[in-house]
Amino acid sequence: MKRQNREGTFTRRPNGLWQARVGYTDADGVARRLSVYGATQAEARQKIEDARARIRVGQPAKDATMTVAAWCEVWAAGTLAASSRRSSTKSLMNSMLEKHVMPTKLGRVSLARLRPSHVDAWVIELRGRKKTVAGPDGEPRTVRALGDASIQRAFRVLRLLLDGAVRDGLLATNPTHVVAQPTAERAEARVLSAAEIAAILIAAGEMDALRLERGGYRTHHRALFALIAGTGIRKGEALALRWSDLNPELGTLTIRGTLSRHDGHLVVMPPKTRASRRVLTPSAGVLALLEVHRTAQEADRHLAGDLWVETGHIFTSATGRPLDPRTVLRAFTVAAQHAGITGVSVHTLRHSAATTMLEGGVHLKAVSELLGHAGTQITAEVYAHLTTPTARKAMDTLGDSLGL
């Protein structure tokens, strides 16, 4: 039985379902026909009306049948690759899609069937992932594979992914915008005391000396760790430094880039933000340590002979190449353990430097600029527990001056 009116053509199928068909012109001006099905004629008519409403506002008549996993590949190769994001950021986002979206149940859902409940189930699935690690006693124990912060980052990437599907007309709306974003409490980072930093530097120096005694090569990690502790610069920024960035006469150090791994190679990339391009004035002690390090590097160059590769970097391997960030992370962990300190990383040196400056009364804006933050709001958010006492001290000073 077929009925036709201005709403479209309605046909009762042999299986009892109603089929509704209607012609329309898509956003590209192409004439198309849409077919929908319903248990009743009223249901089929409603689906046609819903499709027309979507078409009127420039949305696709119906969502694509492509799966979320398939769209991940398309989006990563197109939209993500064409974006102005840093290469390291693109690699990280791509990795998140490959690990936390594509192999999940959500990845098998078609865009046409994607609902907010699928996103909720995905978050629950990520929270339920487990992994086995060695406990303090050396015995294996089961813990969550992903922390709240990792799940939050994965959610943000998923939101961008599905925003791209909406932009390309594959989805009418992005379900992540009506789902509560996973939260992650910022854990208060460990702050190293001056004595602890000194112990780590001593341990790094002793390990270097021991390596030389055994016929190995110098690593100069002590100088690197001292620079980060004394200036608060990022690990990647320190590893990207060249001797041309150091002006001994003015006592300045210019931050021009950051060293990171891209496609398996170590490359110096532009700074993280515009504010990351900055000129620092290290203390006399740090500058003196760098000059001692320069002399030691000259000895390395002489020892390496023809194997030396001149890169101009301040911190290099035995053959002149930039130090691998992963090697630096491991070296710091070992040095800290030798000093009897656990639960810290190279970034702890940067955090400790910032904390020391703020606790010493250095203005928030000055600390923000020294750290290379994009704005003081970032510094204030990370170090809120320190800015409150500073603000209280300012109010007390004002009150004392007014006799209040």
Reading the chain (404 residues) residue by residue, the pLDDT tens digits are 444 444 678 888 777 888 888 888 766 677 777 777 788 888 888 888 888 887 777 666 666 678 999 899 889 989 999 998 888 789 899 999 999 999 999 999 999 899 999 999 999 999 999 988 777 677 788 888 888 989 999 999 999 999 999 998 888 899 999 999 998 776 667 889 999 999 999 999 898 888 777 776 777 899 999 999 999 999 999 999 999 999 999 999 999 999 988 777 888 888 877 888 899 999 999 999 999 999 999 988 998 999 999 999 999 998 999 999 999 999 999 999 999 998 899 999 998 888 888 888 888 788 888 888 777 776 766 665 655 555 555 546 545 655 54
What one-character DSSP code corresponds to residue 182?
P
CB atoms within 10 A of CB 73: 15
Q: Are 301 and 320 in contact (CB under 8 A)?
A: yes
Q: Are 62 and 51 in contact (CB under 8 A)?
A: yes
pTM of the model: 0.66
Helices 194-213 and 221-231 sit at what angle, rounded to 10 degrees? 160
Q: Both tokens of residue 7? A: 């709403």
Question: What does the alpha-carbon distance between residue 331 and residue 346 come to, in Å, rounded to a whole number?
Answer: 9
Is the backbone of residue 126 left (phi > 0), alpha (psi -120 to 50) or beta?
alpha
Question: What does the alpha-carbon distance between residue 91 and residue 283 come to, in Å, rounded to a whole number?
Answer: 36
Residues in the chain: 404
What distances in angstroms separate CA 379 from CA 279, 365, 368, one per listed residue? 18, 8, 6
Q: What are phi and psi of 90, to 5 degrees?
A: -60, -45
Q: Are 238 and 221 in contact (CB under 8 A)?
A: no
Q: Find the DSSP H helices in 168-220.
A: 194-213
- Equal fold, 68-178 vs 194-392: no
What distances in angstroms separate CA 225 from CA 310, 313, 329, one per listed residue? 23, 16, 11
Given the structure tokens 């509704």, which residue do they identify?
20
* Fold of domain 194-392: hpI Integrase; Chain A (1.10.443)
Q: Both tokens of residue 347? A: 């970034």
Spans of all domains in the chain: 2-56, 68-178, 194-392
Q: Are 252 and 281 in contact (CB under 8 A)?
A: yes
Torsion of CA 27, 29, 32, 36, to 10 degrees: 20
* Fold of domain 68-178: DNA polymerase; domain 1 (1.10.150)
Q: What are phi and psi of 140, to 5 degrees?
A: -70, 145
Question: What does the alpha-carbon distance between residue 233 and residue 228 come to, in Å, rounded to a whole number?
Answer: 5
Cβ within 8 Å of residue 311, ≥6 positions away: 242, 320, 321, 322
Given the structure tokens 């203005």, which residue do they identify?
363
